[in-house]
Amino acid sequence: MSLDLTAEFSMETVGGRTLRVARWRWNEPSEHLPILFFNGIGANIEAVAPLAEALTERPFIMFDMPGIGGSPEPVVPYNPFTMSWTAKELLKRFDVEQVDVMGISWGGAMAQHFTLQHGNMVRRLALAATSTGMIMIPGKPAALTKMANPRRYVDAAFMEEHFRTLYGGLTGGKNEHISRLTPPTPRGYMYQLLCMLGWTSVPALPFLKKDVLIMMGDEDQIVPLINGKMLEALIPHSRLEIFEQGGHLFMLTHREQTISCLRGFLDGPDRPERKAA
């Protein structure tokens, strides 16, 4: 896919898995930590590239999950523990000792797990349109059934027809978003679904000592707003930002608000009592 991105792409083999990796502004001077980003289910790097492109002052790294985008199919299933370890080893390969972590939807669960598993590498955590995993308030059945169907990545007409049912909220920029998608392989999509089977962060979140930003759309059909309120209630040092008329892809439809919110959070002063979790 050619979208004239400014990222540097490479194929990296870590722990027996080969991943397509994108890095923005990696060798440019910066006063900010890199952002490690975990994407949503079935979504390739290009789907979130506008966010990485907009955060012009920060290094940014993300990768396609196995069987997604340009990463080869997984040979064996994986779980949050093994993929968090893989992400840690990937960061070490690029000489990164600490990051700010962000994740959207399925990737928000991965971002939580990475932070809980490798807290010494994480300064702050930003979560978008996500939940605590299996213990959550589910979205509307019509949206969930279409989300589980990888046809939304294969058939542009299907995505166009069901975009609002799937994601809710405003639909501005949907054609741009659809044009950025690459279909996942069936096995890649299935293994990504299975990865979080039975997983929940609920028992661990009250002990999380990081500063956490939670961003949710109030019209999200897949992950209803109540899930963001649950996260805020469970995480001691968290703040919930609600995007009015925001659906599951509010980062697309509310781009300037998203960037402003993220910058305000990441550039804010540290709490004096902040310590590694």
N- to C-terminal Cα separation, the chain: 39
- Cα–Cα dist 153/43, whole Å: 8
105 is catalytic: yes
- Cα–Cα dist 104/38, whole Å: 7
Length in residues, the chain? 277
For 87, list phi and psi in degrees, rounded to 5. Answer: -65, -40
DSSP conformation letters of 50-116 = HHHHH-TTS-EEEEPPTTSTTSPPPSS---HHHHHHHHHHHHHHTT---EEEEEETHHHHHHHHHHH
A 10 A CB-CB count for 54 gives: 16
Kindly tell me the burial class for residue 240, based on how many C-beta atoms sit within 10 Å of its own C-beta (0-12, 13-18, 19 or more): middle
Nearest alpha-carbon partner for 250 in 170, 137, 136, 139 = 170
CA atoms within 13 A on the CB side of 242: 12
Query: Quick one: how far is CA 98 from the chain centroid?
Result: 18
The one catalytic residue in 71, 84, 105, 201 is 105
Q: Report the catalytic residues.
A: 105
